[in-house]
Amino acid sequence: MSDTESTASVEVDADVALDFDDGLLPAVAQDAETGDVLMLAYVDPEALAHTQETGYAHYHSRSRDELWKKGGSSGHVQRVREVRVDCDGDALLYRVEQEGGACHTGFESCFHRTLDGETVGERAFDPDEVYGDDADEAATDGDP
Amino acid sequence: MSDTESTASVEVDADVALDFDDGLLPAVAQDAETGDVLMLAYVDPEALAHTQETGYAHYHSRSRDELWKKGGSSGHVQRVREVRVDCDGDALLYRVEQEGGACHTGFESCFHRTLDGETVGERAFDPDEVYGDDADEAATDGDP
């Protein structure tokens, strides 16, 4: 991935066909160093193109229906080392270097709880310090 | 998770509320030992309940619109050590012990290619030996 790579059209440039039939594909962000699964969000061709062009993870916010650069407000960006695609081309894996923590609640990973409610993840930052009283900022950063 | 755990109703038993508003939630399967992201599929309350009751990963096949036990035809089952839920309750993480390989193409992971088409994953088995000429069997096992 480089800034000089042409990514005007994901479908044309990619050797692997992606199935955007439903408009959005789920993208799993994984810490490239630790292997931790950090979050799951959604991408459209625009978000994927921005990810490839900039080297930083972009998603499409379903709630706001707009392009979303992860960490745009918090600074907790994700530098993307590699984008992988699954066997049937309808899911993506972003292998990233996570700045700060991925979760807007302050945890390293959004998957920091078991289904029984036990906390199993590690805290990375204090959300009050990062977002202050600006709930919109937290939502902008954390809501896929 | 144990077989004796009551899982008749996911919503009632879970301390963490799940948002099944859209009917299905994406579930990421991760190898609990290596940290590799193996696949992404979808679950409904029935599939999640079966996962909790049996300790083996179940999903809901979107193409066949039915409950799908991963490895039901190939034997490449996933023993589930832990189910995690993300911060906003709309994605799941299955931490599993994968028998054989997760991908019906024979690779350990369905995410065995980069977006540029480079193969980065390891082969785990020969799909011809596992599935033979039975394409339906492969599809049953591999198609989320």
- DSSP characters over B1-70: --TTS--S-HHHH-SS----TTS-EEEEEEETTT--EEEEEEE-HHHHHHHHHHSB-EEEETTTTEEEET
**Looking at the domain assignment, is residue B134 inside a domain?**
no
**Looking at the domain assignment, is residue A16 inside a domain?**
yes
**What's the distance, CA A1 to chain centroid?**
16
Among the partner residues B26, B36, B52, nearest to A40 by beta-carbon distance: B26
Confidence (pLDDT) at A135 = 55
**Looking at the domain assignment, is residue A56 inside a domain?**
yes
Q: Report the alpha-carbon distance of residue B97 to residue B103 in Å, rounded.
A: 14
**Contact predicate B137/B74, CB 8 Å:** yes
Q: Report the alpha-carbon distance of residue B116 to residue B103 in Å, rounded.
A: 19
The answer, for A49 touching chain B at a CB cutoff of 8 Å, is no
Confidence (pLDDT) at A138 = 61
- Residue A102: pLDDT band (50, 70, 90) is very high
The answer, for B102 touching chain A at a CB cutoff of 8 Å, is no
Task: Please report, in range form, the residues annotated as the binding site of A for Mg(2+).
Answer: 86, 88, 90
Q: Report the alpha-carbon distance of residue A28 to residue B26 in Å, rounded.
A: 10
Among the partner residues A37, A83, A114, nearest to B114 by beta-carbon distance: A83
**Per DSSP, what are the bridge partners of residue A123?**
A107
Confidence (pLDDT) at B13 = 43
**Looking at the domain assignment, is residue B58 inside a domain?**
yes
Q: Report the alpha-carbon distance of residue A115 to residue A66 in Å, rounded.
A: 30
Q: Report the alpha-carbon distance of residue A66 to residue A56 in Å, rounded.
A: 16
Minimal CA separation from B77 to chain A, in Å? 18
Asked whether residue B64 carries a pLDDT value surpassing 80, the answer given is yes
**Per DSSP, what are the bridge partners of residue B39?**
B29
* pLDDT, tens only, B37-54: 999 999 999 999 999 999
Confidence (pLDDT) at A129 = 86
The residues near A12 (Cβ < 8 Å, ≥ 6 apart) are none
Task: Output the domain CATH number for residue B30.
Answer: 3.10.20.810
* pLDDT, tens only, A46-96: 999 999 999 999 999 999 999 999 999 889 999 999 999 999 999 999 999
**Looking at the domain assignment, is residue A92 inside a domain?**
yes
Asked whether residue A10 carries a pLDDT value surpassing 50, the answer given is no
Cβ atoms within 10 Å of B20's Cβ, excluding its own: 16
CA dihedral B117, B119, B125, B130 (to 10 degrees): 0
Confidence (pLDDT) at B24 = 96
Give residue for tokens 């919503």. B11
Q: Report the alpha-carbon distance of residue A97 to residue A79 in Å, rounded.
A: 5
Asked whether residue B81 carries a pLDDT value surpassing 60, the answer given is yes
Q: How many CB pairs under 8 A join A and B?
A: 114
What's the whole-number average pLDDT of chain B?
85
| Average pLDDT of the residues in B16-32 | 91
Backbone angles phi and psi of A126, in degrees to 5? -95, 115
Q: How many domains does chain B have?
A: 1
Degrees to nearest 5, angle at CA A74 with A73 and A78: 100
Backbone angles phi and psi of A29, in degrees to 5? -100, 125
**Looking at the domain assignment, is residue A4 inside a domain?**
no
Query: Is B114 in contact with A34 (Cβ distance < 8 A)?
Result: no
* pLDDT, tens only, B89-132: 999 999 999 999 999 999 999 999 999 989 999 999 888 888 77
Among the partner residues A40, A86, A116, nearest to B86 by beta-carbon distance: A40
**Looking at the domain assignment, is residue B4 inside a domain?**
no
B90 is in an annotated binding site: yes
**Looking at the domain assignment, is residue B108 inside a domain?**
no
Domain residue limits at A75: 10-142
Which residues of chain B does A35 touch, with a Cβ-Cβ cutoff of 8 Å?
Answer: 34-36
Query: Is A110 in contact with B14 (Cβ distance < 8 A)?
Result: no
Confidence (pLDDT) at A140 = 54
Name the residue among A19, A106, A94 with its Cα closest to residue A54: A94
- How far, CA to CA in Å, does A31 sit from each of A77, A94, A101, A109, B35? 12, 8, 10, 9, 10
Confidence (pLDDT) at B3 = 40
Which residues of chain B does A104 touch, with a Cβ-Cβ cutoff of 8 Å?
Answer: 87
Query: Is A111 in contact with B39 (Cβ distance < 8 A)?
Result: no
CA dihedral B93, B55, B16, B28 (to 10 degrees): 10
The answer, for B139 touching chain A at a CB cutoff of 8 Å, is no
Q: Which residues in chain A (14-33) have CB-CB distances under 8 A to chain B?
A: 14-16, 26, 28, 30
| Average pLDDT of the residues in A107-120 | 94
Confidence (pLDDT) at A17 = 85
